Amino acid sequence: MTELYLGIISFLTSTIAGIVGLGGGMMLIAILPSFLPVNALIPVHGLTQMSSNLSRAVFGYKDVQYEVIPKFLLGSFLGIGLFASILSFISLEYVPLFIGVYILLSLWSEKFNEKIKRYESYFLAGFFQTGLSIVVGATGPLTMTLLLKDYKDKDKVVATSAALMSLSHILKVFVFMYFGFVFFDYIGIIIAMVIGAIAGSYVGTKLRNIIDGKRFTLILKVLLTALSIKVIIGVFI
């Protein structure tokens, strides 16, 4: 029954991400502790999200803005290499707090955006999104805020975000394999969740076309704000 439950949950969260572009990963990692041991949370979540994001990018391949990928990928390699090497030596307890505050300021403060714009880039987004993903699991909002500024078309934002997040999760899966995590121990759960994730991506991609484009930005900002507040509160609870 665990496989069935997680397959359905994976489908629903992936559908949400397919419609709005994010949120599914955070919802999923918040639910997984009820089903999996702590050591398996981020690895299994990463493999599932890799399937969810990669399939979403494939379904929307025409809308992916490929020019942002090289800088993001370079940053991702450096970021995951650094964070993987120092993971056991530093405390990252308050990292989610900084992520949440950054997202809120980026979304709602014009003065902050004016100051940060000279330093903001897909290289840094890849560095922090992929590097921090091995610690906090779901870091998609980091690049989503940047994409939201650069592209107004909802399909471009969602498809490109999915492509970038899939790169982060692919690298993360390889890191956990390198450190000896045995994915085969959870093969039944993984298969169910991957099937659910891909099916959810397909359904979400189809449903996304129903959403009015003018409302998309507001919906995305509200969701990002809610997720950021949740992350911040989680640091102190």
Q: What is the pLDDT of residues 17-50, one digit of tens each?
A: 888 777 778 778 778 888 888 788 888 988 999 9
What is the Cβ-side half-sphere exposure of residue 117, based on CA atoms within 13 angstroms?
10
Across the chain, mean pLDDT equals: 84
Per the listing, tokens 């979403």 go with 56
The pLDDT-based confidence of 193 (bands split at 50, 70, 90) is very high
The predicted structure's pLDDT at residue 198: 94
Residues in the chain: 237
Classify the C-alpha dihedral 169-107-160-116 as positive or negative.
negative
How many of the other CB atoms lie within 10 Å of CB of 237?
Answer: 4
Nearest alpha-carbon partner for 140 in 167, 117, 114, 101 = 167
* Residues in CB range of 31: below 8 A, 6 or more apart: 9, 13
Q: What is the sign of the dihedral through the CA atoms of 43, 145, 100 and 87?
A: positive
Start-to-end CA span in the chain (Å): 31
Distance CA(83)–CA(88), nearest Å, equals 9
Whether this prediction's pTM lies above 0.75 is answered by yes
